[in-house]
Amino acid sequence: MKIELRLGTPADYRAVEEVTREAFWINTDCRPYIDEHLLAHKLRQTSAFVPELDYVAEVQGNIVGSIVYSKAKIVESPGKEHQVLTFGPLSVLPQFQNKGIGKMLVDVTTAKARELGYTAIVIFGHPDYYPRLGFRPAAEFGLETSGGRTFPAFMAMELKQGALQGMQGQFHEDAVFGSLQKEEVLAFDQGFPQKAPRAPRYPWRFCWLALNPRPESHCSDFSSRI
């Protein structure tokens, strides 16, 4: 199987949203709906979106994976901020998971981000998967979430050695990450083929990332399989 990575274009946006929806649908067994496809849609309308890092993976001319980057910041104190990157959604169609496509997307885009002069990436993701790609617990760099918390799924990677050393700050993403409302998500989802939620594995309140400040974003082990 030949996998090709390339920079995404506006003509790819709808296909990427469809791939994202399919990739994250597994999470409907631990939460009532998924919103990553709307997140991808709305992120591209913000000034935080980084089109130079908007990559897709193709197999036989069809998009099977994608990664979306946006600008974020570390706030040390009022008036003292440092720009960083974050990414997500990172999506791979279920039938193409466990083939290294997610790793390829991360490896290519982190290298490109370094070329573009970005110094660090901070993410929320599966703590068993992303350390294999070079991420470390954000707490090791003295970072906290915007709510003052740390936990294993909160991770960071320096693109420039020492870029995060001594910051002792809080991580803030673009406001769109916290703005997705249920009614808006369900209305947006009406534009996609109808799809039944998966049968619950356990009560939604026990999703594995219950302490995530964005708990709706990663409640299954999806990212460990891409």
pTM, to two decimals:
0.88
CB 34 within 8 Å of CB 182: no
Q: Provide mean pLDDT across the span 185-190.
A: 95
- The pLDDT mean for the chain works out to 89
pLDDT on residue 168 = 86
Answer with the residue of higher pLDDT: 221 or 103: 103
The domains of the chain, with CATH numbers, are: 4-220 (3.40.630.30)
Mean pLDDT for 151-165 is 96
Q: Write down the pLDDT at residue 197.
A: 82
Q: For 164-173, what is each residue's pLDDT tens digit?
A: 998 889 999 9
Using the predicted structure, report yes or no on whether residue 206 has a pLDDT greater than 60: no
pLDDT digits (tens, 9 = 90+) for 80-111: 899 999 999 999 999 999 999 999 999 999 99
For the residues 175-201, what does the mean pLDDT come to? 90
pLDDT the model gives residue 214: 47
How much of the chain exceeds pLDDT 70, in percent?
88
Question: SS3 string of the chain?
Answer: CCCEEEECCHHHHHHHHHHHHHHHHHHHHCCCCCCHHHHHHHHCCCCCECHHHCEEEEECCEEEEEEEEEEEEEEEECCEEEEEEEEEEEEECHHHCCCCHHHHHHHHHHHHHHHCCCCEEEEECCCCCHHHHCCEEHHHHCCECCCCCCCCCEEEEECCCCCCCCCCCEEECCHHHHCCCHHHHHHHHCCCCCCCCCCCCCCHHHCCCCCCCCCCCCCCCHHHHC
